[in-house]
Structures are given as C-alpha cells and as structure tokens.
C-alpha cells in the first residue's frame, strides 16, 4: 500500500512535467492551427538557456525561481521571433505546410545548439534544497517532485484565469472557435497569434528549464519530448487545456504503475494509450470536432490530365532513367535506386494525403512492414527474392487495411496522430521482438537474388517496380475510384448523399497506399541487404511527409519532384559540416518562397498568362 502511495505521487510529478510540455503545444494549435514540430526544440532551448542562466546565479530557491522565469521569458521571445519571421508569412499556405516549416526549424536548432553549447551533456549542480526529500509512507519522496506536482495545476490555473477572466482570453477563445469571424470583427490577428505563439514557446521553455534538476540539457531532448507532447495533446483533445491536463495525469500514472507490472512496456505504453483513446473517442478526451476552416476548399485543385509539355518532360525523364545503367557507376546507380524507392514512398503517401485528404505521420509503418516481410521471407522461409517482393506489398496492404479500419473514421490531425500511434506500436514490436526481428540489430543478409545482383539489373528492376507502381497510383487517381476518393475528401456528406460509401473508399485508398509503401520497403530491403527498425521510425515518416510537401500536395507530379529534390539535397549536404542547419534553412526558404511546393510553383509559373 505504501508503495502505491509513493508511486502515485511519482506519477503525479511525471504528469506535471508532461503537462508543461503539452500545454504550450495545445494552446498554439488551438488558436493558430499550426502543428508546431519545433515545440521540442523550444523545450530544449529552454533547458540550455536555463542552464546558462542558472549556473551563473546563486544557488538558493529565490534565485532559482527568478532564473527559471527568465529562461521561460527568453524562450518566449525566441518563439515570438519564430512566429514573426516565419510562420506569420505562411498562414495562408496549404494545411500542414507550417509543419514542414517547423521541421526545418528543428534541424536548424539542432546544429545551432551543438555549435553554441557543444556536444557534452550539461548538468545543473543541485544545491542541497534541490536534493531534499520528505518522508512519505516510509519512503523518501523528492522535494522537487512535490514542487513539480504543484507547478502543473498552478500553470493550468493561471492559464484558466488568463482565458476566462481577461479580454485577451476572450479573444483567444473566440479565435480558437472561429478565427475568421474574430478577424471580421476587427481584432488584429497578427498580434494575437504572435502573443499566443510566444506564450506557448514560453511554456515549452518553462518545461525545459524545470527538467534540469532531475536531468540534463542535451542534444537529444528535442525529439525525445516532441512525440510525448503530441500524444498528450491528442489524447486530451487538440486545443483543450483541461484535456491536456487530464491526458498528462492518465499517462503519468499509467507509466508509473505500468513499468512495475510490465517492465518492458516502456517503449509502447504512451502510444497504446493514444490508440485506445482515439479509437473510442476520435477527438480525444475533451476535444471537439475541428471547426471547418473556411476557404480551405479553394486550395484543393482539381485533378487534370497533364498538359502535353509535361507529358513530354515525363517521357524524357523516363528515357533518361532507362538509359542510366549505360553511363552510371555502381554508386550512382545505388543512389538512383534509393531515389526510385523514395519516389514510390512519397507517391503512396501523396495518394492518401492529397486526393485522399488523409495526412499521415506514420507512413513508415507500411514501408517497414513491407521491408520486414521481405527480409523474413528471405530468412525464415528461405523464399526467393521475387516471392519476398510479392509478399512485401501484400503484408503491408493487409496491415494497412487492418489498422486503417480504425484510422479512416477520423480526420485531420487526429487521423494523422492515430497513424503515428500505430506506426510507433509497429516500431516497438519490431524493436523489442528480438527473437523474430533481430530487435535493434535488424535482419542482415537480405541481398538480391544472383540474377539481380548486378547493380544495373537491380536498378532496372527497381525502376520497373517503383516506377510502375507510382504510375499505377496515378492511373487510379484518374479512374472513377480516384474521383470518388476526392469526393469523400471534399465533402463526405455530399459524397454519401450520391451513394458513395465514404468509409469503404477511404479504407481501400488507405490499404492501397499502404501496399505501395510496402513495395517500396521491399525493394529497399534488397537494395540495402538488411532491414532495421529505423525504417519504421518517426524520422522516416517525416522524410516522406517532407518530400510530399516539398513537391506540393496538390499536384500529381509533386511527390515525384519532392522525393527527388529531397533525396538529392540530403545526399549532397550530408557530406558537408553543419548539414542539418543547411538542410533546415533550405526547407524554410522553400516554404517561404514556394508555399505550393516545387511542382506547385512550376505549375503556377506555367499557367501564368495561359487560359485555364
């Protein structure tokens, strides 16, 4: 019993930390609809800035509190700069483009922090009062954890006062419900958004600096906290502060007791919680259906057949691709093979995300399932390579069909987050199930069959499979099914009214996209000769997302262009120093100047002066 009390209190402290990270994210999303991927980076900056301030201050509680506030304010200022310099300029851009921009910021901050604070973990020396404890039920309970337990509700209370009792709060809530109407009534949204973003960033910074006494400032915390923060926000209901608090409590306590009962559950627990909550409450614990953003529909272009010039360009690229083995060496061919895989991977995501209207943060799950299916076929079943390449899309398509049944009932960011949850669950299973998947060490020796061992032959095989599958996806979009799919995206209600079964159509599209990603994974497995859990990791899903957004969501050629550009850029920069900063800056600039993506910008340029 005593243990239960102590562990419950420990869970409360964990919940408070989680809430601090998530609160800022949910506030920002609620008002600006920006999915701020850089929230973890702001948290990390808060920790680093806090370290720089607190190590220079006297070590008593009053100075500590002052230092914490100062660090939070500094992070808030950085957040305001980020909003004014970048996000403000792209609010009118297609949905999720802000996500791409903030992803660029994540990359830049990683290298900036490495440059400014160095590679070593920075720890804050703890004065005795920070190491103190109180006796609770016969055990020692850290004093600072008690402080944390208090800070969570305190922040919630202050935010509630701000929202409920001030004019600013009224405007904020109004903007959360209907920001166009608020703008129409003459409220300056520009200032509102900047302040909200600064507030959210400040909360992230507060979370970061308050993590110092229990840990350290290091270069990994940005990505370590961002997924947890997303989970809490989504479980609570996006934009809902009490929801975030409730979700943090739930996850904090489940974590504290879960690891006692099932010590190996650590990898997957939070994502299991998210999956279960979203399946039963599609908008999170306390969330409401997202208000339909007015005017969004005009951004969604019709699918039109390619103009002749584009067809000729496509044919020329294809001819060049076919001729590549004549002039390219083995390394260039391996790069080209990877590009083909990236093209199919991006095209399959685009299929769901553009015409299907279902953005995914977990698309790598299907890629990974395909890769592992091929690898396991080769190893466990001793199947020949063609069988492995056949099994890859089948397994991925089946898995996507199964998970998709839960996923396609949601929409928008909730749908994207449920795909993330499923992807993380798949990742955790692969990562942990050492006996079958080889765990972190992966499966080795998945090399192509002898007849395809020559890089030129394998490249042509990849061209046929990936190019063929991408063309097939494109064909499907021009078929009646493709039109029906877009109907369910543009207006589910009207689509149902004319007799389309929206759920089934979306599920079929989801499974098809999954199968195509699985084929990409299978081709990739044999190209690399091995498979690893990194194929399923969040970072790989983000790669596909970046490729699609970079190319342009609303053009058919977008994913192809985006995948080629992103892969080429990544390869070119990887051998240079501070490549993450350069890649991030490049993405940010592209977003600023070509918000419709590369292909979108090209299309606009082409159409200028021509009758539609």
Q: Taking CB under 8 A as the criterion, which residues in 411-450 touch another protein?
A: 431-432, 434, 439-442, 444-445, 447
Q: Which is nearer to another protein, 18 or 477 (CB)?
A: 18
Q: In whole angstroms, what separates CA 15 from the centre of its chain? A: 22
* Interaction of residue 327 with another protein, rule CB under 8 A: no
Distance CA 26, CA 429 (A): 29
Q: Which residues contact 294 (CB under 8 A, 6 or more apart)?
A: 180
Q: Which residue from 214, 454, 490, 496 is in contact with another protein, where contact means CB under 8 A? A: 214
- Reported as type and span, the H/E element at residue 142 is strand 139-142
Tell me how far, at minimum, the Cβ of 411 lies from another protein, in Å: 30
Q: In whole angstroms, what separates CA 537 from the centre of its chain? A: 10
Check: CB of residue 193 under 8 Å from CB of residue 210. no
Q: Tell me the window of 28-36, 215-223, 234-242, 373-381 that interacts with another protein (CB under 8 A).
A: 215-223
As a whole number of Å, the CA-based R_g of the chain is: 25
Check: CB of residue 596 under 8 Å from CB of residue 552. yes
Within positions 138 to 157, which residues make up the interface with another protein, using CB under 8 A? 139-142, 144-145
* Interaction of residue 512 with another protein, rule CB under 8 A: no
* Interaction of residue 524 with another protein, rule CB under 8 A: yes
Burial (CB < 10 A; 0-12, 13-18, 19+), residue 105, is: buried
Closest CA to 377 of 395, 364, 403: 395
* Interaction of residue 219 with another protein, rule CB under 8 A: yes
Q: Which is nearer to another protein, 192 or 342 (CB)?
A: 342
Tell me how far, at minimum, the Cβ of 363 lies from another protein, in Å: 16
What does each C-alpha distance from 207 to 13, 31, 48, 60, 107 come to in angstroms?
Answer: 12, 21, 12, 20, 21
* DSSP 8-state code for residue 335: H
Q: Tell me the window of 111-119, 283-291, 305-313, 554-562 that interacts with another protein (CB under 8 A).
A: 111-119
Tell me how far, at minimum, the Cβ of 264 lies from another protein, in Å: 5
Tell me how far, at minimum, the Cβ of 64 lies from another protein, in Å: 16
* Interaction of residue 10 with another protein, rule CB under 8 A: yes
Q: Which is nearer to another protein, 73 or 259 (CB)?
A: 259
Tell me how far, at minimum, the Cβ of 231 lies from another protein, in Å: 12
* Interaction of residue 114 with another protein, rule CB under 8 A: yes
Within positions 530 to 549, which residues make up the interface with another protein, using CB under 8 A? 530, 532-535, 539
Distance CA 204, CA 76 (A): 8
* Interaction of residue 490 with another protein, rule CB under 8 A: no
In the block, residue with structure tokens 């404890």: 133
- Reported as type and span, the H/E element at residue 364 is helix 364-379
The residues with which 139 forms a beta bridge, in sequence order, are: 136
Q: Tell me the window of 33-41, 76-84, 109-117, 486-494 that interacts with another protein (CB under 8 A).
A: 109-117
Q: Tell me the window of 4-12, 202-210, 379-387, 513-521 that interacts with another protein (CB under 8 A).
A: 4-12
Tell me how far, at minimum, the Cβ of 478 lies from another protein, in Å: 33
Q: Tell me the window of 81-89, 307-315, 351-359, 567-575 that interacts with another protein (CB under 8 A).
A: 567-575
Q: Which residue from 125, 295, 305, 611 is in contact with another protein, where contact means CB under 8 A? A: 125
Burial (CB < 10 A; 0-12, 13-18, 19+), residue 370, is: buried
Q: Which is nearer to another protein, 57 or 158 (CB)?
A: 57
Binding track over 329-358 against another protein, x by CB under 8 A: xxx--xx--x--------------------
Within positions 573 to 612, which residues make up the interface with another protein, using CB under 8 A? 574-575, 579-580
Q: Copy the structure tokens of residue 116.
A: 């400014």
Closest CA to 363 of 237, 528, 543: 543
Total residues contacting another protein (rule CB under 8 A)?
74
The per-residue DSSP string of 64-89 comes to HHHHHHHHHHHHHHHHHHHHHHTGGG
Distance CA 20, CA 26 (A): 10
* Interaction of residue 131 with another protein, rule CB under 8 A: yes
Tell me how far, at minimum, the Cβ of 258 lies from another protein, in Å: 9
Residue 77: how many other CB atoms lie within 10 Å: 14
Burial (CB < 10 A; 0-12, 13-18, 19+), residue 563, is: buried
Closest CA to 212 of 380, 336, 79, 53: 53
Within positions 51 to 80, which residues make up the interface with another protein, using CB under 8 A? none
Q: Which residue from 65, 85, 116, 120 is in contact with another protein, where contact means CB under 8 A? A: 120
Q: Tell me the window of 7-15, 26-34, 70-78, 379-387 that interacts with another protein (CB under 8 A).
A: 7-15
Closest CA to 584 of 569, 599, 597, 571: 569
Within positions 156 to 195, which residues make up the interface with another protein, using CB under 8 A? none
Binding track over 242-271 against another protein, x by CB under 8 A: -------------xx--xx--xx-xx----
Binding track over 221-240 against another protein, x by CB under 8 A: x--x---x------------
Q: Which is nearer to another protein, 23 or 333 (CB)?
A: 333
Binding track over 448-467 against another protein, x by CB under 8 A: --------------------
Q: Copy the structure tokens of residue 483.
A: 């039109």
* Interaction of residue 303 with another protein, rule CB under 8 A: no
Tell me how far, at minimum, the Cβ of 437 lies from another protein, in Å: 11
Distance CA 363, CA 368 (A): 9
The residues with which 141 forms a beta bridge, in sequence order, are: 134
The residues with which 217 forms a beta bridge, in sequence order, are: 122
Q: Tell me the window of 48-56, 208-216, 400-408, 473-481 that interacts with another protein (CB under 8 A).
A: 208-216
């Amino acid at each position: 019993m005593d243990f239960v009390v102590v562990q419950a209190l420990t869970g409360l402290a964990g919940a408070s930390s989680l809430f601090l990270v998530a609160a800022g994210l949910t506030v920002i999303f609620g008002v600006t609809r920006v999915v701020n991927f850089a929230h973890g980076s702001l948290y990390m900056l808060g920790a680093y800035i806090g370290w720089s301030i607190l190590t220079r201050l006297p070590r008593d509680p009053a100075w500590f509190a002052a230092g914490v506030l100062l660090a939070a304010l500094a992070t808030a200022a950085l957040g305001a700069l980020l909003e004014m310099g970048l996000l403000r300029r792209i609010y009118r851009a297609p949905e999720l483009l802000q996500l791409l921009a903030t992803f660029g910021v994540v990359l830049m901050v990683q290298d900036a922090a490495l440059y400014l604070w160095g590679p070593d973990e920075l720890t804050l020396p703890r004065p005795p009062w920070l190491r103190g404890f109180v006796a609770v039920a016969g055990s020692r309970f850290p004093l600072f954890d008690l402080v944390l337990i208090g800070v969570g509700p305190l922040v919630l209370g202050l935010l509630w006062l701000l929202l409920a009792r001030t004019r600013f709060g009224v405007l904020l809530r109004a903007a959360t419900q209907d920001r166009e109407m608020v703008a129409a009534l003459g409220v300056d949204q520009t200032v509102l958004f900047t302040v909200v973003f600064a507030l959210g960033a400040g909360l992230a910074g507060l979370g970061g600096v308050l993590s110092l006494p229990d840990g350290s400032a290091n270069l990994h915390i940005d990505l370590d906290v961002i997924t947890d923060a997303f989970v809490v926000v989504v479980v609570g209901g996006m934009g809902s502060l009490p929801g975030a608090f409730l979700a943090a409590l739930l996850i904090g306590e489940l974590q504290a007791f879960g690891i006692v009962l099932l010590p190996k559950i650590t990898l997957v627990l939070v994502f299991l919680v998210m999956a279960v909550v979203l399946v039963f409450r599609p908008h999170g614990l306390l969330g409401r259906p997202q208000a339909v953003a007015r005017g969004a529909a005009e951004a969604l272009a019709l699918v039109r057949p390619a103009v002749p010039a584009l067809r000729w360009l496509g044919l020329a690229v294809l001819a060049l691709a076919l001729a590549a083995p004549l002039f390219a060496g083995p390394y260039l061919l391996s790069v080209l093979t990877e590009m083909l895989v990236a093209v199919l991977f991006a095209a399959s995501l685009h299929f769901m995300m553009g015409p299907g209207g279902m953005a995914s943060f977990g698309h790598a799950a299907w890629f990974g399932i395909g890769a592992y299916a091929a690898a396991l076929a080769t190893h466990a079943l001793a199947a020949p390579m063609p069988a492995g390449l056949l099994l890859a899309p089948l397994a991925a398509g089946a898995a996507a069909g199964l998970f998709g049944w839960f996923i396609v009932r949601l929409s928008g960011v909730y749908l994207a987050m449920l795909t993330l949850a499923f992807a993380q669950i798949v990742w955790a299973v692969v990562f942990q199930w050492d006996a079958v998947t080889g765990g972190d060490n992966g499966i080795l020796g998945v090399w192509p069959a002898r007849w395809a061992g020559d890089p030129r032959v394998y490249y042509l095989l990849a061209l046929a499979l990936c190019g063929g599958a991408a063309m097939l996806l494109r064909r499907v979009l021009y078929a009646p099914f493709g039109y029906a799919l877009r109907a369910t995206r543009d207006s589910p209600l009207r689509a149902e009214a004319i007799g389309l079964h929206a759920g089934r159509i979306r599920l079929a599209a989801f499974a098809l996209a999954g199968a195509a990603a699985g084929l990409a994974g299978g081709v990739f497995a044999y190209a690399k000769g091995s498979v690893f859990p990194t194929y399923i990791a969040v970072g790989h899903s983000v790669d596909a997302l970046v490729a699609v957004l970079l190319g342009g969501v609303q053009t058919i050629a977008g994913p192809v262009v985006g995948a080629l550009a992103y892969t080429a850029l990544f390869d070119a920069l990887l051998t240079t120093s501070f490549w993450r900063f350069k890649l991030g800056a490049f993405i940010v600039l592209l977003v600023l100047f070509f918000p419709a993506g590369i292909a979108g910008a090209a299309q606009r340029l082409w159409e200028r002066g021509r009758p539609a």
